[in-house]
Structure formats: structure tokens, C-alpha cells
Structure 1
Amino acid sequence: MADLPTEARAVVIGGGIVGCSTAYHLGKLGWTDTIVLERAKLTSGSTWHAAGLVGQLRTSANITQLLGNSVALYDRLEEETGLATGWKMNGGLRLACNADRWTEVRRQATTAHSFGLEMHLLTPKEAQDLWPLMDIGDLVGAAYLPTDGQASPSDITQALARGARMSGVTVFEDTPVTGILIEDGRIRGVETPRGTVKCEVVVNCAGQWARDIGRLAGVNVPLVSVQHQYLITEAIDGVAANLPTLRDPDRLTYYKEEVGGLVMGGYEPNPIPWANDGIPDGFEFTLLNSDWDHFSDIMELALGRVPALANAGVKELLNGPESFTPDGNFILGEAPEQHGFFVGAGFNAFGIAAGGGAGMALAEWIVAGEPPFDLWPVDIRRFGRPHFDADWVRTRTLELYGKHYTIAWPGEEHDSGRPCRRSALYDRLKAAGACFGEKLGWERPNWFADPSAGEAPKDVYSFGRPNWFEAVGREHAATREAVTVFDQSSFAKFLVVGPDAEAALTWICAGNVARAPGRLVYTQMLNPRGGIECDLTVARLSPDRYYIVTGTGFATHDLDWIRRNIPAGLNVQVVDVSSGYGVLSVMGPNARTLLSRLTRDDLSNDGFPFGTVREIGIAGAPVMALRVTYVGELGWELHVPTEYVVNVYEALMDRGGDLGVRPAGYRAIESLRLEKGYRAWGSDIGPDHTPLEAGLGWAVKLKSNQPFLGREALDAQGRAPLKKLLAGFTVDPAIVLLGRETIYRDGERVGWLTSGGYGYTVGQSIGYGYVRNPDGVDEAYVASGAYELEVATERVPARLFLQPLYDPAMSRVKA
């Protein structure tokens, strides 16, 4: 056995497909003094018993691209390394057995077209021609993606390990990591029974053991193990080597060819967790006992699709635990708790499909210090406080496992682990008919039911207009015509304090935050490429004190971004004060009248202009009032110490009856912001979009000589034609826009919608998306085209707009 080195540039923990892929790509990038430490033997965790289906399409363009990178790697790996991988690009079929599923499949096909993937819709007979063994009696249609395929998990991992070695990376088996050394807040090495290895980068690709490895560094990795079973048959007549993979979500099952037989598995709605109290020692190349009773429902569903299974010989019912996460997406990135500690884990049974691309993305992230493109759907910083509780994580994860093949409804909420985080108004809003959604554990009112109209506060999902459509319309109209109160207590809120607070935020923020106390600024924070990492409001409270407000789901991400980008040597601290304040947003043309009944402070436009912050008194409470809006109406965000929130809310509702005051929810906010043209981070804007491309150049201090993070990239971009530009589109109100619909300009595919919804004031369906052209775009170019949108594979005419559809100062609506 080779001696363990005493130093390495990076240590990758875990010798499964993701660890070997990461090491392979690090070697290709020149980090040849990387080592892989595997506790037992390569693939001995969950890789060796993975089913090996490789699909590509996801709801994110970048995650789809990442999976496409896996396919491209697997296509060349055998030739490069000389080791067989079992890779076959035999295509993939997805079936639909009812009208709703067929709508979902057609929308998925449009998403594929948006992202540049070839996907074909087939009749039941055309699908059967590709997969002759299946019964098509209940089939409505199918989708076929010819570049999907399958691989041998163990073989492809060994090939990646050889490729890593060919670049100089060293792999050590039978070397568990028992400790991680941290000094002065930095990674300094890892401890093993064979000695200590000094390093400054640790990459946790330990699969089901990733949570335990994370704890060694004080890092939370929210995943749990769940039992997953699949059947392997003897050879079956009619099973050809080139048989496509098959997913039959309405019957909860999947299939692939193996040595003339079939692998068949599924995702039962009542999954069984495993290792709740820790993974047993020595668990390697080990399976759990086959559970035929638990598999019987899946087997019955499969027999209805593939009758030949009834007479097929069974080699094995394989029961192997795999790691799953509470939102069904895998986990990548540098941990917010510990610089130099990266994670690639929690692959939810599609680690083989993602492994090649995930290893590439993680390696580039490590080497460059930032991800190669926006990876927010899988970024470890999407998690927050509830995810530190393993029991909460397990409860939510089991629900997501059970939904693996259920229809992904627009606006769908999850039920498990709720309620978790409640604002002070939860019970009052519930009594008022609130139907709550959940984000990062927070209960948030999405809409309010009217029992007198026969409405119940329960979501009924649909690809058409859902049951909350009329209720949201009422709240939308009340905001435009009277006054509404939104409980936005779940906002993430930070204090930035210290003598160097202005200097730090002047560097991090693209907008000018060097304002007098009492002013607030809407600003972005950019990465070195000029991409938008954060989109938030910064209020200056005093010379050495700022108050930052950002979205609920971005609490961990934005706090981490601010902290890690404070220039060295500055005396400044950042404190999360989210739980200290509730937020009541009072919005609408009657907002000033209502608030003036509750405070003696001057709320006139001259006395309290837009873009200012001031402490006022309401119902005995010291309220930090921010004159700002995300709905396009007169309004204030009232940031209220938590213990006063109930009093302030009751005062608002008691004194506003004759003004038409009513509570409203987040779905109305979405409709209102679409009409006003406000951007949403995570969809319309993100790390791959610059302010210039997003139409937010006005919010950036480019006219000053002040340096800031990302400025050089924006200056360079401003000297050349833009490659894409955000634009708005409207279509017939009967057409439902959800996002990811394909944009066609003069018959040519030029992008896809980043978000979509309905505008009740304008009476139209609204979508936003980037118009792309490698030769350059500007407003004149965008405006000169004729546009169509592809919606569920059908093209419909679309009207372009580049200015907000709604403006309260200009006859209310721009038609």
C-alpha cells in the first residue's frame, strides 16, 4: 500500500462517482496534487448498486446543461481511459397515462426545446414501436429524448478514477477520514488512521456519510438515507440491447435493459428511511434485506405495463439505501459555515446522470473560487435553519421521495414538517382564511379564502387556472384600488455595523449606498463576471449602521456572500436579525391615509419621500418604516420588533375598514410585480445575468469613478454589444404562462421565459425572458422582431413590451 502523502492541494473524501468525477476534473484543471480518500473501496457506498439511468432534462437550464455535460463526458471516457463504461446513448421514453400528465409532458417537451434538447412527442403506437414489450392500453402519449441513455455505475466510476490518475491524482482506498483540522477559521488538513494530510481544500463527496463528514468541520449537509429497491430479471424475449430507458411516472416505475433482461424499480409513496441513528460500521458493498411486501405495489403497477414480467425469472430484488435531500435536488458548493470545505452529495438516485457534470462544476468552482455558471437550484446555501434538524429533514425528504414521480404541479406546496417557523400573526391570518405556503420553514400566506363564497383555504392544483385564481384577483384589485397588508415577516434581515460599514458595502454593492442616514437604496451585489449574486434593499440607519432586507429563501446565500466579500482589514460585522422583526407591508393608494390615522409622524410625500427610512410610532411600537414597494403602488414596509407585531396589525385592520383594507398574500405580490416589471432573483435575474442585460443599469453606480465588485466586467460589457436582453411578453389571457416557454423571434428560437403569470389589472398573461443573439442585441433589435411563444409544444403569438405594463402615474395601465 502506497504511503499517504503529508500534504495535498485538495483532499476529496469519497470514492463514488461524484468523488472520482471531481478528482478527474481537478486533475484536468492542473490540480494534480489532489488525493482521493475512500473509506473502503471505490464505489463501495451507493454507487455500485445504482440503477444507472442517465436522463438530462430538468426545470433549470443550467442543471440540464450540467447533465448534458455528463453525457458528453461518458461519450468519450472509454476511448480516453481504455476502460469500459457501459455507456449507451439508447434514448429515453417518458409515458403519460392521463390528460394532466400529458399536459405536463408537453410542457416538458417545450422546456427541452427551450434548453436546446431534442425531444419528440409520440403516439402510443410510436412509443410501443420503440419499446415493444409494453402494454399501451392506458397510454395517452409519450415523449422521447434520443440523447438520454444508461451506464454501468461501477465501470464508469473506475474509468473516472483511472482518468484522474492519468492526470496525476492519487487515490487511496481503505483510508477513512476521522477528523478535519481547522485553524484560524481555515481548513488545514484531514486526519486518518494512516496519518494526517495537510491541505486547504476539502471536498466532501461521501454520499450517505456526507452529513457525518460535514459535522467534523461544523458544516450542515441536509440529507438522509432512504431504502430504494429495484428488480433484476433473467433474459426476456424481445429485450434488445438498444432498448431505450423507460420512465412510467403514472405507474411510479422505471426500466432499463441489462444483459437481455430488465431492471425495474420505482418510487413508492410510503418510502422507508434507513440508518436513522447512524450508518453501521463496515457497511460497504452491502445490501439490505429484500422487502417483497413493500415492493408488491410497485410490482403490480409494473405488471400492468410489462406483462412479460409475470413469467420472467428474477435474479434479485436489490435493496440499497441512497441519500436523498428535502427538496429533491443534489447539493453542491462551498459551505457557508467553513471556507475551503466543498460538498458534492445528496444525489437523490440520479447521481450517475449528474456525476460527470457535477464533478466538472464542483472542480471549476474549487479552482476559480466561483461556480462556472448559476447553480442556485443545487447550491448548498439554499438551505437554512430548519435543515439543521435531522428529523425535520427526514420528514420532508420522505415526502419528496414519495413525490418523485407524481405530477409537478405549478405552485405546488409540500405538507410535511409544517408548521415550522410562524410569524406572530399566524393564528390571526389562519382565522382570516389564509392558505399558507412554506419557504425555508416559514409559513407565509399565499392567498385568502372567502368562506362566504364557498372557498376553502386549500390549494387545488391545475395546469389551467387554479382554485385560488379569483381570490388572488381580489387581493390584486384591493392593492391597486384601496389598501392591503402583507405579512412579510419571513424576509431575511441583516445589520451591517462598524466604522467601516460604508466602505465595505460600497465595495460589495453595485448601487450607491454612501447616502445620508435615513436613505435606502435598491441595489444588486455582483460577482467578478458582473452577474447578479444578490438583489436587495440597503437602508442606512446611522453613519456606522446599515439595515439590509432580502428574500426569505436567500437568507443563507446572501449572508454568506456579504461576509465573504468584505475586504480584508475592515472593521465591520454582519448580524442576522431576521427573527427580531416582523414585517407588515402596507400597500395601495389608501396606504398613506390609513397610516396617518395611526401615527403623528409626517407621511406626506415631502415629509417622507420614496427611498427613505424613518422610525415612527404606531400603537405604542417603535416601527422602522421603509418607503419602498415591490407591487407598484404607494406603500411602506413596516419593520416591527417581533413583540409589537400583533398590536400594529390589529391597529391597521381596526382603523382601515372604511378604506377597504384587507390582508393579501404572496401570489398577489407575484401578479402585481409582473405588471410593474420588477425582477425576481432566482428566475429573471441571477449570477448569469448582469444589470445591463436585465435592464437594471440605472441601479448601478457606473457614472461614478467608485470601484466595486463586478465593475470591471460591466465596464467591458458596456463597450460591446450585449448578447441578451430581458424583455416582457403578453399573450391571450386564456393561455397560462409558467416560465420556460420558448421564445421565437421571426421564427427563430432565441430564449425562454424566466417567469410567467397573470396580470389582473391589464387582463393578460405576462412573461419575462431574455432575447439572445450572439451578434448582439439592443432595444431596437429586440423591438424590431415578431414574436411567438411555444406553450406546451404549440406556438402562440406574443406581444413584446420593454416598459412596465402598469404605471399608477400614467392612467394606471399602459395598454
Structure 2
Amino acid sequence: MDLPTQARVVIIGGGVVGCSVAYHLAKLGWSDVVLLERKALTSGTTWHAAGLIGQLRASSNMTKLARYSAELYTGLEAETGVATGFRQVGSISAALTAERLEELHRQAAMARAFGVPVEELSPDDIKARYPHLSVEGVTGGVWLPTDGQADPANIALALAKGARARGARVQERVRVSGIAKAGRRVTGVDWVADDGSAQGHIACDMIVNCAGMWGHEVGRMAGVNVPLHACEHFYIVTEPIEGLSQLPVLRVPDECTYYKEDAGKMLVGAFEPHSKPWGMHGISPDFEFDQLPEDFDHFEPILEAACTRMPMLAEAGIHTFFNGPESFTPDDAYHLGLAPQMDNVWVAAGFNSIGIQSAGGAGHALSLWMEAGEKPFDLGDVDIARMQPFQGNKTYLFERSKETLGLLYADHYPYRQKATARGIRRTPFHHHLLNEGAVMGEAAGWERANWFAREGQEREYRYSWKRQNWFENAAAEHRAIRENVGMYDMSSFGKLRVEGPDAEAFLNHVGGGDFSVPVGRIVYTQFLNSKGGIEADVTVTRLSETAYLVVTPAATRLADQTWMERQRGDRSVVITDVTAGEGVLAVMGPNARRVLQAVSPADFSNAANPFGTAQEIELGMGLARAHRVSYVGELGWEIYVGADMAGHAFEVLREAGRAHGMALCGMHAMDSCRIEKGFRHFGHDITSEDHVLEAGLGFAVKTGKPGFIGRDAVLRKKDEGLAARLVQFRLTDPEPLLYHNEPILRDGEIVGYVSSGNYGHHLGGAIGMGYVPCRGESAEDVLASRYEIDVAGTRVRAEASLRPIYDPQGARVRGDAEAIRDTAA
């Protein structure tokens, strides 16, 4: 077998995603591209995919990639001569409950914000477009005319042919048997022919893991974590139905079903609530175009509901009962990007039953990332760096996969928490909080108190698109922070110790702030990329002449540590994750100082401990470190205490707080307070795509300091002027709720969407943030317009502000007593 001994990149896996990566790299001019497929192209999952091509995804950029896929598939047939079968038949989603209808209407509003054609439908409208459907119990729906369906295998084969035509080598029946590594880099792959007739080694500059349900195993060979697990996925295909003509794709998520007409037959598939994990003991090396054993008992309840919903199915014979494996990730988002554990191992895997509609865009985005060495736009939703190390645990993946397949069609309620594979990461205060009525949520595997139930109140979520059962609990916690004092657990936030003789110089290179500060000083800043986009939003505390503590959001700890590691070069610096070593309790509110003075002899006055400084303190009978910072816009301290003394610290603070009416608070209250103050949420309000100046964070970047990443982009933007501004909005109607992605209308025209939202309990209405285009305009021009937010199809008037609506002067954080009284009044 005449395979090359050297390549720029080796792609492992010849499903639709691997073929797309090869196609797009070749299109960029990469000639020495080698794709290795262990059996035949498409023989894993691609060949039996349903081929639904939806264009509306959960975020703007994911929608952009899905739309790119549809556009690509439209032209592939003319380019390659391989028929992709792409037909733009449109799609209907039908709701059976009022809650689902609100979800669909919110999705329709989001579609308008993202530029995707959409139309809300009544039950009669649905019946007119889909006469075979019983609309009994249907509350309404939405129509997406640009959605469609296609032939999955032929799309992959067309991409492979296009890749070959541009010089890529696509080789079937060759298995990767080993991966050679040197430090943090792969140096090549060993291969063996499927029939054992040949073997060899390809030295390469990088690899791309596109191995689908084998992606976890291939990841381990390469020394990287690729968390995914295969599940059984069921559908039936009927015998030909007389008179059946082309129909839109139909989804009835409340019954877990989707329907696709294909060549006069109906395909009916399901995403059942409790799925069946598969492949726990490995996948047979002979697996190729294989089907799994039928399990009619498992599928029967879904099919019975489908026959009632579409009566013609009851008369049609079943031609095929299909059961095939597909891979699912812990959060139902696929994996894309450069793996954190290695510096030249890329991943595109775990597509959660949306591989066909995603493959074109994913291959395009990854190829641009590989070419430039930087993300082409924000890919945080799918960046594999979001995955925590423990999520590669096979038992965890088995338990979580029971739920994730069904979540595709479950109600996507705001604040919905995963029910499986819970309780893995617990802060030192976990049992204390549970004893006090905490209702836990999960972030990056951490169990976090989201809200506190009252005595006798059920301690679980009751989900809704309206006010949920904890709304008043969070409101009371919010008021405690604003009016008195509250305490919440921040232990899950990432804590990275940066230490060594070059620590100061290194941070001054990687961060926009000035870290040449005295010991005990806290610097709030961002890590920027070369375009001035925000890679991380951090606070950095100088602990000593040679050591700093970088605090990051829980979900981005690994990504932020990886970013720093890759910028370190030959500097003498060690970066260590110390998150689990310290518990952190935030004591926030006008009376925070009184509580702390009751438990510590330290001086917490403005003179001795001004905002933005940290000090070592005695606390009760133990030791701690008090950081005077705030994410809620009030006077307060974050108390860092070693895990060994954390329980004692909690008990001492809790007891002292009782005398001052201190409330225990959760993450929901923290978030509602931060959005009133206009503080940004990383991943929503600020991302790698958002310029730090347009995000309103120029104050945290010190351009007088030379040599930091992104400095030139910041200076250019100052010269060019802003193209957009991040604006804070308050709805004038106190009833509607904002979450994210609601369209922003300026003088009646959609100009953007809400990046994050929550309820402002102090301000008396929902608060949202969002970018508004403003090229050539002053701040006054931006604010002179009339603004509305589209909430599920209803336009709601909104007040706009470029300064924090709550305490714009920041007096409360600084502890200015007179100003605080004025603000409270």
C-alpha cells in the first residue's frame, strides 16, 4: 500500500466530518493532507443518519455554521458530480403545550435576530402545510422554509471527491494502530491495512481526530480527552405509501419524534427521554455498516404515539426497523478545536445526531482555525477546551449519556439542570449548604448552590419559561445583598497559581492589565487575542514578588490555563491549578464589613483594605485571605480559606451573620445582581470575537504598557472608532423575562440580540445586555434611539444605558457611606 511517509496533517476517520475537514483544508491549499479510514467511508454513523438539515441553532455562530453547511451542500453536486440529495423542503416544529409553544416562539424571535427566515404557525396553519398530521392537542408551531434534507452518505462521498481533486489523499481500509508523541506534540501515526497486508508510519505536523464514536479511544491514544459515548438511536422506514408526495421535515418534540418523507416512504425517528448507551465494552474491530439488535419494546411507546399523531402510519407496513449507534457528548454540543492536553492534536467529533447539518460548517471553521492558528470567530459553544478532565471518565460518560440523547427534544427551559452523573465535584461547603436548604445546580461538574429553599418548600426546580418556583427565593437573596448582607459560595471559580521569577513579565505579556503592582493588589483585566478579542476575563492577585493568583470562571478554568501555557514560551513560570485547594465565601452587602469585623481582628476599613486589595487575616480560630472585590456591585469581600479550615470558616461566618440578618445566597442571585451592575458574563457578553473596547472594558487594558498580546489591535480600534457598543437594557414592563438571544430593535429595526439576561429585582424589570452597531456614531447617538426587545414575538419597550443602570458611579463597591445612602434612597 503506497501511503506517504510524511504529511502536514493526518485526519483519522472518514465519516462526513472527516471528509469535510479534508475538503476544507485542501480548499485552503493544503496539499499534503492524508485521511485514513479504518473501513469504508461513511461506515460508522454517517451512512445511517437521517439527513435532516436544520439551520437554526442555539447561538448566532452555530447558526452561521449550519447555514454554511446548507449552502455548501447546494453547490457540491455541481462541483463534484456526486448527488447530495439536498432538497430545501422546509421544516415544521409543532408544540403540544403552552410551555413548548413559548419555547418555539422564542426560537422564532431568535431566528429573526440571526437572519433565518421563520414564520409562527397556528394549528390550522400546520394542518394546511402537513395534511397527514392530526392537530389534536397541538398548540401551534413554527415554519423554517430554508431547512431541508439530504443524502448523508453522498454528502460525505462528495466532500471526499472534492478533497481528492485538490490533492488530498483519502485512504480507506487503513487503521491507525498507534500515535507517536514527544512532549506535548504528536510526531506521527502508525497504520496497518485492514487485511493485515501492510503497515507503516506517517510522520506529521498534526492530526485531526474525526473518529466519531471511536473518538474517545483515539483521543486516549493521542494523549487527549475526548468525552463522548455512543447510544442506540432508533427509527423506522415504512413501506411505500400511495400518493405520498414531498413534505416538509416535521418535528413533534413533545412526543420525541421527527418525520421525514423520502421517495414515497416515511421515516419516523425518536429521541426518547431515557436512552440506551452502547459500546461500554468497546466496539468490535469488524464494525462496518452494522446495525444493532432490534428493541421494539423500547421503541413501541414512541411508535404508538406517532401512529396516533399521523394516522396513515397505522396502515403502512414497516419496511425497516433500524437501530444504529451515534455518539453523544456530556452537554450535547460537539467537540471542535485544539485539544488542551496537546499542542497539535485537533478534534472534530461527538456530533449528537446533528453531524450532517453541522459537518460543512464545522470543517470550514476548523480549517480556518488550523490555517491561522486562531479561532476565526467565537466557537466557545463547541470548543473542546470546555470539557473538564474528569468528563473522560467512562462511568461518568455512561451515566450522562442516558440523558443527553433525550435532551435534544426535551423542553429547553432556562436554568435546566442535568439530572444524571451528578455530585462529582463538591466544594468544601457542600454539606453545610445542603443543611441550610440549598438547591444545587451544576457547572463544569461542580455542585453549586443556585438558590435556597424556605423551610417546608420543595427543594427542586419546577421549570417554566415564566417565573419559576425559585423566583421569589432569588429575589429575597438579591435584596439581602443590596440592602443588608448575603453570603454565597464561590469555590468553584477557577484558581490558577502563576509562579516563578518571570511571573510578572509573563502576565504583563499575556494580560491587558498592569501587573507590576505591590503585593496584595488585585488587577481586573482580560487576556486578549491578536484581534483584541477577549480570550479570558480574570482577576489577578499578587501574592508575593514571584507569585500571582489568577481567578477565572469555573467553566473556562482549563481553557484559560491552556491559553496561558501556550503563551508561556521559554519564560521561567509554573502554572498550577489550585482550584480545589481553597474554599471561597463571598460576603457581600452594605453590612459585610460588620460581619467580618465580628469574626476577625483584621482592619477592614477603606484606609487599610481599599477596594482592589487583599490581606491575610485571622478568621475565627483559623487563617484566611480576604480579597476586596465584588461581582455583585456591593461592598464586600471574597474570603479564601484552605480546604482544611473551610468548614470552620463557614460556621464562624454563618454564626456571626445571624446577628446581622445575613442571608445565604445562590448563583441565581449573584447573576441577577451582576447584570443590574452591568458586569459582563464571559461566554455570553464577552467572547474571543468581541473587541475589548466595544465591550466597554477599555479601562482594564493599559496600552501604555508595551508588548502585550492584542495591544496593536486595541490601538487600531481607538484610531478607527467603535463599530458596536455593549449596551445595558431594562424592560419598562416588569412582567416579561429575558434570558439570551432575544432580538434588539432600534427604531423598529432588528440590530442585534440580547447576549445575557436576568431579572433586576432592585431595578424592577428584566435586564439584558447586547451589542448595538454604532459605526460613525457617538455614545449620545446610540442612546438617542428608541429600543425594544422582542420577547417571544412581543415587542417590549426598553431603556438603554452605556453606564451601569445600578450605581453608575460605583460608590457602593467603594464603601462611600454617603453615596450609598443616596443610592439606596
Both proteins in one fold, TM over 0.5: yes
Q: Does the CA contact (< 8 Å) of 2:275 and 2:401 recur in 1?
A: no
* Shift, 1:662, TM fit: 2.0
Aligned to 2:151: 152
Q: Where does 1:258-337 land on structure 2 (aligned, <5 Å)?
A: 258-337=262-341
Q: Where does 1:693-708 land on structure 2 (aligned, <5 Å)?
A: 693-702=694-703, 704-708=704-708
Say whether residues 1:5 and 2:4 are aligned partners: yes
SS in 1 for 2:237: strand
Q: Does the CA contact (< 8 Å) of 2:527 and 2:536 recur in 1?
A: yes
SS in 2 for 1:32: coil
Say whether residues 1:760 and 2:761 are aligned partners: yes
Aligned to 1:465: 467
CA distance in 1, matches of 2:60, 2:800: 23
Using the aligned pairs only, state the percent identity: 46
Q: Where does 1:102-501 land on structure 2 (aligned, <5 Å)?
A: 102-193=101-192, 194-241=199-246, 243-451=247-455, 454-501=456-503
* Shift, 1:239, TM fit: 2.4
SS in 1 for 2:426: coil
CA distance in 2, matches of 1:260, 1:473: 55
Farther-moved stretch of structure 1 (211-220 vs 712-721): 712-721
SS in 2 for 1:659: coil
Q: Deviations over 1:455-486 (max 9, x none)?
A: 22211111111111111111111111211111
Aligned to 1:551: 553
Aligned to 2:815: none
Farther-moved stretch of structure 1 (232-241 vs 4-13): 232-241
Say whether residues 1:709 and 2:709 are aligned partners: yes
* Shift, 1:328, TM fit: 0.8
* Shift, 1:705, TM fit: 4.2
Aligned to 1:783: 783
Q: Where does 1:674-753 land on structure 2 (aligned, <5 Å)?
A: 674-702=675-703, 704-731=704-731, 732-753=733-754
**Which residue identity is paired with 1:199?**
C
Q: Deviations over 1:207-264 (max 9, x none)?
A: 01011100111111100010001111122134213x1111110111001111111111
Q: Does the CA contact (< 8 Å) of 2:728 and 2:805 recur in 1?
A: no
SS in 1 for 2:272: coil
* Shift, 1:695, TM fit: 0.6
SS in 1 for 2:543: strand
Q: Does the CA contact (< 8 Å) of 2:257 and 2:271 recur in 1?
A: yes
Q: Where does 1:510-659 land on structure 2 (aligned, <5 Å)?
A: 510-566=512-568, 568-659=569-660
Farther-moved stretch of structure 1 (740-749 vs 388-397): 388-397
Q: Deviations over 1:389-448 (max 9, x none)?
A: 111122112112122211111111112112111122211211111111111111100111
* Shift, 1:167, TM fit: 1.1
* Shift, 1:671, TM fit: 0.9
CA distance in 1, matches of 2:301, 2:110: 32
* Shift, 1:84, TM fit: 0.5
**Which residue identity is paired with 1:93?**
I
**Which residue identity is paired with 1:425?**
F
Q: Which runs of 5+ in 1 are unaligned?
A: none
The runs of 4+ residues in structure 1 deviating greater than 3 Å are: 775-778, 808-815
CA distance in 2, matches of 1:705, 1:424: 39
Q: Deviations over 1:641-668 (max 9, x none)?
A: 0010111111111122221112111110
Farther-moved stretch of structure 1 (759-768 vs 33-42): 759-768
Farther-moved stretch of structure 1 (420-429 vs 273-282): 420-429
Q: Does the CA contact (< 8 Å) of 1:672 and 1:759 recur in 2?
A: yes
Aligned to 2:57: 58
Q: Deviations over 1:720-759 (max 9, x none)?
A: 1322110011111111111111011111111000011111
CA distance in 2, matches of 1:713, 1:673: 28
SS in 2 for 1:628: coil
Q: TM-score, normalised by structure 1?
A: 0.98
SS in 2 for 1:19: helix
**Which residue identity is paired with 1:25?**
H
Q: Does the CA contact (< 8 Å) of 1:721 and 1:778 recur in 2?
A: no
Q: Does the CA contact (< 8 Å) of 1:804 and 1:814 recur in 2?
A: no
Q: Does the CA contact (< 8 Å) of 2:10 and 2:33 recur in 1?
A: yes
CA distance in 1, matches of 2:632, 2:319: 60
Aligned residues: 808
Farther-moved stretch of structure 1 (777-786 vs 245-254): 777-786
CA distance in 2, matches of 1:149, 1:385: 37
* Shift, 1:360, TM fit: 0.6
**Which residue identity is paired with 2:472?**
E
Q: TM-score, normalised by structure 2?
A: 0.96
Aligned to 1:509: 511
**Which residue identity is paired with 2:677?**
K
Q: Does the CA contact (< 8 Å) of 2:514 and 2:705 recur in 1?
A: no
CA distance in 1, matches of 2:17, 2:122: 37
**Which residue identity is paired with 1:292?**
F
Q: Deviations over 1:181-223 (max 9, x none)?
A: 1113222111102210010110000001011100111111100
**Which residue identity is paired with 1:407?**
D
Q: Deviations over 1:28-51 (max 9, x none)?
A: 111111010000111011000111
**Which residue identity is paired with 1:81?**
T
* Shift, 1:370, TM fit: 1.7
